[in-house]
């Protein structure tokens, strides 16, 4: 391609497209190159099982995104361009091995009634917990949507809050520390721990304290939020905005080399040898583990190379997609319940043992902890009339003792065990109700999308060593890479994985500043 663009962006996940949309609004011509045949990265929806069954390949809920300025303030007019959200109620339904359950409703009184079945004290503690989280969450949300290191230190931000000192301690504790100390009944503890680990972080890890509040609080506030039509509805709306502002998106264009001239990144080269050049900057969402191979080592410097070398993947998912003739019907008092977001929480002790499997490279098939998603309960556009699509997720290590290739041998057995466990609580989902299935192990997730390095759909671990000003590498957390002219966005940058839009918005803020533009003036012009 001989045409030159102002900005060339490698990758068409939702964060890259958000960056492109803001830059387009500012008047810059953007070219977005996507390696796969479909845009969206891990916000994709595809016919994985049978024609007409639209499965979300990775993300399904966009709960955090609803709190982003991108959506909440419509900085990008996504609603105008076709994006619509469904607030599923019940918000969630989580079952326990003794046959009991907690159904979470948007009406907090109803949720507290569910908790009170086990402990009235815990129900009141939960109500207080939600109130306290709502009062402080805007502070944490502001940090998420500000480039790393650009906001005031957390202690300074919290100093303005009447419970600031308490929250400073809470965020440094583990989610399990808070849950275990605050609640008395094991069912309630297990329920909250199941939510806390929803972002693929170990609940017992120090620094995860806010996860005891945020994940369950998001569902309590908005329900199990799903985009109508599937997760790909977000990148499709973003595509329309990018193209409205003159941007171009090309698929089947895997980038494998950065073009450097006089030490500056001036473009990219694809696997076919085609080159695309940028007048002002190149933006990458390529995983940093792969990005460092696209330029000579001396271009990166020792610090960045060490940071990439020591970058950890974190937890990985095992996913089975089903096309079915009916949804899982969970047994409840007085009948059955279909629900968009459900879980098999087991006991707190079983959930805490997941970390041991990652440490030892083993697959724990006893009493699997599950997330079960059935968007077709609320969104009939996802399947043929009267049919449903179900996604069953468990958490297992990519690195097995026998090597990751062992997944090809055992994945059918693991999927069968997960389904067997689900059937204890939704016995209607018999073999004749299952029309087709697609199994994706952590190894498969990496094969399908290279960004899912070692099966992580969240861009890598969110340990204390890989958050905020340390993500992806200390000294390079503000989206500017060691190579002049090269910027990074996507889940390997602050605030990390999940569908937040934060990395895309933050990268746009930084790049626009470097181009002499004010982000807020662009948004409000």
CATH number, residue 296: 3.50.50.60
3-state secondary structure at position 466: helix
Q: Read off the pLDDT of each residue in 123-152 and give the average, rounded to a whole number.
A: 95
Q: Average pLDDT for residues 470-499, to the nearest whole number?
A: 96
How does DSSP assign 123-187, residue by residue?
HHHHHHHHHHHHHHHHHHHHHHTS-TTTSPPHHHHHTTSTTHHHHHHHHHS-HHHHHHHH---HH
Do 197 and 337 share a domain, yes or no?
yes
- The answer to whether residue 75 is domain-embedded is no
pLDDT attached to residue 349 = 97
Rounded Cα–Cα distance for residues 357 and 359 (Å) = 5
Q: What is the pLDDT of residues 247-299, one digit of tens each?
A: 999 999 999 999 999 999 999 999 999 999 999 999 999 999 999 999 999 99
Between CA 338 and CA 336 the distance in angstroms is 7
Yes or no: say if 494 and 472 are a contact pair by the CB < 8 Å rule. Answer: no
Instruction: Evaluate whether residue 375 is within a structural domain.
Output: yes
CA angle (117, 121, 127) in 5-degree steps = 90
Q: Would residue 294 count as lying in a domain?
A: yes
pLDDT per residue over 278-291, tens digit each?
A: 999 999 999 999 99
Same domain, 264 and 197: no
Where among 394, 425, 448 does a domain terminate?
A: 448
77 within a domain of the structure (yes/no):
no
For residues 210 and 239, membership in a common domain is answered with no
Residue 223 has pLDDT above 80, yes or no: yes
Question: Do 95 and 128 reside in the same domain of the chain?
Answer: yes
Residues 176 and 159: their CA atoms lie apart, in Å, by 25
Q: Are both 405 and 509 inside the same structural domain?
A: no
In a domain, 376, yes or no: yes
Report the alpha-carbon distance of residue 11 to residue 34 in Å, rounded: 5
| Nearest-angstrom CA–CA distance, 481 and 308 | 12
User: What number is the average pLDDT over the span 377-401?
Assistant: 97
pLDDT tens, 55-101?
999 999 999 999 999 999 999 999 999 999 999 999 999 999 999 99
Q: What is the pLDDT of residue 4?
A: 84
Does 265 share its domain with 202? no
Q: In the predicted model, is pLDDT for residue 1 greater than 70? A: no
**What is the model's pLDDT at position 2?**
52
Instruction: Tell me the per-residue pLDDT of 421-439, one tens digit each, with 9 for 90 and over.
Output: 999 999 999 999 999 999 9
293 and 325 fall within a common domain = no
Domain tally, the chain? 2
The domain in which residue 354 lies consists of: 85-227+313-448
CATH code, 197: 3.90.660
Q: Are residues 97 and 207 in the same domain?
A: yes
Sign of CA dihedral 377, 382, 384, 390: negative
Mean pLDDT of the chain: 96
Instruction: Note whether 266 and 301 are same-domain residues.
Output: yes
Residue where one domain finishes, among candidates 448, 482, 510: 448
Give the pLDDT of residue 525: 83
pLDDT tens-digit map of 35-54: 999 999 999 999 999 999 99
């Amino acid at each position: 391609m001989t045409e030159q663009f102002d900005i060339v962006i490698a990758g068409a996940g939702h964060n890259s497209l958000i960056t492109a949309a803001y830059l387009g609004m500012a008047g810059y011509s953007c070219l977005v190159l996507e390696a796969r045949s479909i845009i969206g990265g891990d916000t994709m929806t595809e016919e994985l099982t049978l024609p007409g069954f639209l499965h979300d390949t990775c993300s399904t809920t966009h709960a955090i995104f609803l709190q982003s300025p991108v959506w909440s303030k419509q900085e990008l007019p996504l609603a105008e361009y076709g994006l619509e959200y469904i607030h599923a109620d019940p918000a969630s339904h989580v079952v326990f091995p003794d046959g009991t359950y907690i159904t979470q409703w948007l009406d907090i009184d109803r949720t507290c009634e569910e908790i009170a079945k086990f402990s009235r004290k815990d129900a009141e503690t939960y109500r207080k917990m939600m109130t306290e989280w709502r009062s402080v969450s805007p502070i944490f949300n502001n940090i998420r949507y500000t480039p790393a290191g650009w906001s005031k230190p957390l202690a300074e931000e919290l100093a303005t809050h009447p419970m600031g000192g308490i929250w400073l301690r809470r965020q440094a504790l583990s989610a399990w520390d808070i849950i275990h100390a605050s609640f008395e009944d094991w069912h309630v503890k297990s329920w909250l721990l199941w939510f806390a680990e929803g972002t693929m972080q170990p609940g017992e890890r120090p620094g995860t304290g806010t996860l005891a509040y945020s994940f369950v609080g998001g569902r309590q506030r908005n329900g199990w939020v799903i985009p109508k039509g599937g997760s790909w509805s977000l990148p499709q709306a973003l595509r329309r905005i990018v193209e409205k502002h003159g941007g171009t998106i090309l698929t089947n264009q895997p980038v494998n080399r950065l073009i450097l001239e006089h030490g500056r990144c001036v473009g990219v080269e694809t696997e076919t040898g085609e080159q695309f050049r940028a007048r002002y900057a190149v933006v990458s969402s390529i995983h940093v583990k792969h990005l460092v191979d696209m330029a000579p080592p001396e271009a990166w410097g020792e610090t960045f190379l060490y940071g990439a070398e020591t970058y950890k993947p974190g937890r990985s998912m095992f996913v089975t997609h089903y096309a079915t003739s009916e949804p899982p019907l969970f047994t409840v008092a007085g009948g059955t319940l279909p629900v968009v977001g459900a879980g098999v929480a087991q006991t707190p002790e079983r959930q805490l043992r997941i970390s041991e499997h990652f440490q030892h490279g083993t697959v724990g098939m006893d009493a699997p902890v599950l997330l079960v998603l059935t968007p077709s309960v609320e969104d009939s556009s996802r399947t043929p009339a009267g049919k449903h699509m179900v996604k069953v997720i468990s958490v297992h290590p990519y690195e097995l003792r026998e090597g990751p290739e062992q997944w090809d041998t055992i994945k059918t057995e693991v999927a069968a065990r997960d389904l067997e466990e689900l059937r204890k609580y939704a016995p209607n989902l018999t073999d004749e109700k299952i029309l087709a299935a697609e199994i994706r192990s952590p190894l498969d997730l990496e094969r399908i999308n290279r960004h899912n390095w070692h099966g992580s759909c969240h861009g890598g671990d969110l340990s204390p060593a890989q958050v905020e000003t340390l993500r992806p590498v200390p000294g390079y957390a503000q989206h500017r890479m060691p190579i002049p002219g090269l910027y990074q966005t996507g889940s390997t940058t602050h605030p990390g994985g999940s569908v937040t839009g934060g990395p895309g918005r933050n990268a746009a803020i930084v790049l626009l500043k470097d181009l002499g533009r004010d982000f807020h003036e662009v948004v409000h012009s």
